[in-house]
C-alpha cells in the first residue's frame, strides 16, 4: 500500500483485525519518505508486517521504473531504521523451505538449523547435512513467496507500455460495483506464470495493454479467496486464505486500491482440508 495513502488506507483494511498505532503511523510516514529519496524509488510502499515471537518486522517495498521488475524489499524493527533484504534465488528458497519450521523469532541473525538426510534409512548417516539459514534470509524468501502468490491489483490499474515496463494506469477510474464482485477482475501482480491456456474466445475481449497478468479466479484450489464488502459496504475487501493475513482493499469507482500483509508469515498448507 502506497506510503502516500497510508493515512486513510490503513483504516480500510482494519477489518482484518490489525491496525497500527499512531506512533507507528507517523514514524512510517516520515521514514518511508526518507527511504524513497535515499534509494531513489519511484514509489515507496508499506508492504506489511510479519509477527515474530519477540519482535515484529515491518516490511517496505520500493518500486522503480517498472512496477513489477524493479522491486526492492526492506525491513525494519522500529519503523525508522530500514535494512535491505537479500535478493532471493531459487537455491535460497529451497534451503529455507528445508530448514525452517515454526514461527518467526524476531531476531534477524537467529539461525535455524535442520539436519537433513538424503536417501533412505541405511545411507542416512552418510548423506546427513546440516542446513543453516538465518532469519533474514527466511524473511526475504517469505516476502518473495507471498508477493508471488497473493499480491493483487484490480484489472486495469496497471498498463504495460511498448517497452515492456509496467506502469500505473493514470486513467484508471476503478471497478464498478458489479465488476468488483467478480474475482476475474482482480489480477496477480507478478509476471504471468500460467501461460495462455485460455481459449481464443475468452481472450477476444482482452486488451494486451491491460491483460498481461493472471486472474485470481484461475487460482488453485478454487475458493482460496474471500471477497466481501465492508466498511458499511463501501469497500471491497479480499482476503487470501492461502496466506492468512493478506488483505486487499479497493474502493469501487475510485482508483484507490492496495494490499497489506500482517500475519505470522506462514503459508496455510492445510487449505484443502479447511474449505
Partner 1 sequence: FLMKNSSNSNMNYDHLTQLLTKVMDEHPNNAVDVFEEMSYEVKRASLNSMQSNLRDLPQLTATELLAEQQRSLFLGKPVLPNVSEISFYLEQAEVGLGREEMQRIFLALKKLVDSERLTHCRFWGKILGIENNYIVAEAENREGEEKDHYTIEDELKEQIKEPESLEKEPFEGSPFPHSAHKPQHEVPKEAIGIGANKFAYYVCKEPGLPWVKIPSVTPAQITIARQIRKFFTGNLDKSVVSYPPFPGNEANYLRAQIARISAATQVSPYGFYQTVGDEGEEEQELYWASIEVNPDFEGVPVRELAESLKVWVHHRQHILQQGRCTWENMAEKTGEDTNEETEDEREEELDEPEVGPRLLNPLSLDAFNMPPWSSKLSSHLTPEHAIAVLRSNLWPGAFAYSSGKFENIYIGWGLKYIGEVYSPPIPPLPQKEYPDGPEITEALDPTPEEELDFKDNLEEQQAALEESEESDELEESEEDDN
Q: List residues near partner 1 by CB under 8 A.
A: 11-12, 14-24, 51-54, 78, 102-103, 223, 226, 228, 231-233, 239, 241, 244, 263-264, 269-270, 273-275
Tell me the three cell numbers of residue 103: 514461527
Q: How near is the Cβ of 88 to partner 1 at its closest, in Å?
A: 24
Q: How near is the Cβ of 119 to partner 1 at its closest, in Å?
A: 22
In the bound state with partner 1, the residue whose beta carbon lies nearer, of 23 and 122, is: 23
In the bound state with partner 1, the residue whose beta carbon lies nearer, of 69 and 103, is: 103
In the bound state with partner 1, the residue whose beta carbon lies nearer, of 53 and 209, is: 53
In the bound state with partner 1, the residue whose beta carbon lies nearer, of 23 and 126, is: 23
Q: How far is CA 182 from CA 32, 178, 187, 220, in A?
A: 33, 7, 11, 17
Q: How far is CA 45 from CA 29, 75, 258, 264, in A?
A: 10, 12, 9, 20
Q: How near is the Cβ of 249 to partner 1 at its closest, in Å?
A: 12
CA distance 164 to 260: 26
Q: How far is CA 218 from CA 139, 170, 185, 201, in A?
A: 28, 27, 11, 16
Q: How near is the Cβ of 122 to partner 1 at its closest, in Å?
A: 26
Amino acid at each position: 500500500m502506497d506510503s502516500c495513502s497510508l493515512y486513510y488506507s490503513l483504516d480500510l483494511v482494519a477489518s482484518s483485525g490489525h491496525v497500527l498505532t499512531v506512533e507507528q503511523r507517523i514514524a512510517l510516514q516520515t521514514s518511508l519518505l526518507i527511504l524513497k529519496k535515499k534509494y531513489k524509488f519511484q514509489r515507496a510502499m508499506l508492504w506489511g508486517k510479519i509477527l515474530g515471537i519477540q519482535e515484529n518486522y515491518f516490511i517496505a517495498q520500493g518500486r522503480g521504473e517498472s512496477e513489477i521488475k524493479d522491486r526492492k524489499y526492506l525491513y525494519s524493527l522500529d519503523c525508522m531504521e530500514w535494512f535491505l533484504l537479500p535478493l532471493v534465488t531459487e537455491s535460497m528458497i529451497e534451503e529455507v523451505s528445508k530448514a525452517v519450521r515454526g514461527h518467526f523469532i524476531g531476531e534477524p541473525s537467529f539461525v535455524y538449523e535442520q539436519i537433513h538426510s538424503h536417501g533412505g534409512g541405511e545411507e542416512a548417516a552418510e548423506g546427513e547435512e546440516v542446513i543453516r539459514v538465518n532469519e533474514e534470509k527466511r524473511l526475504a524468501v517469505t516476502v518473495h513467496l507471498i508477493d508471488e502468490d497473493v499480491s493483487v491489483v484490480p484489472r486495469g490499474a496497471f498498463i504495460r507500455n511498448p517497452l515492456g515496463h509496467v506502469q500505473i494506469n493514470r486513467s484508471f477510474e476503478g471497478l464498478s460495483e458489479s465488476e468488483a464482485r467478480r474475482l476475474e477482475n482482480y489480477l496477480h501482480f507478478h509476471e504471468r506464470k500460467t501461460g495462455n491456456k485460455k481459449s481464443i474466445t475468452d481472450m477476444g475481449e482482452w486488451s494486451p495493454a491491460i491483460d498481461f497478468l493472471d486472474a485470481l479466479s484461475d487460482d488453485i484450489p478454487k475458493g482460496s479467496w474471500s471477497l466481501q464488502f465492508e466498511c458499511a459496504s463501501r469497500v471491497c475487501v479480499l482476503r487470501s486464505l492461502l496466506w492468512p493475513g493478506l488483505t486487499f482493499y479497493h474502493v469501487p469507482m475510485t482508483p484507490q486500491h492496495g494490499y497489506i500483509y500482517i500475519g505470522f508469515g506462514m503459508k496455510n498448507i492445510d487449505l484443502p482440508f479447511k474449505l
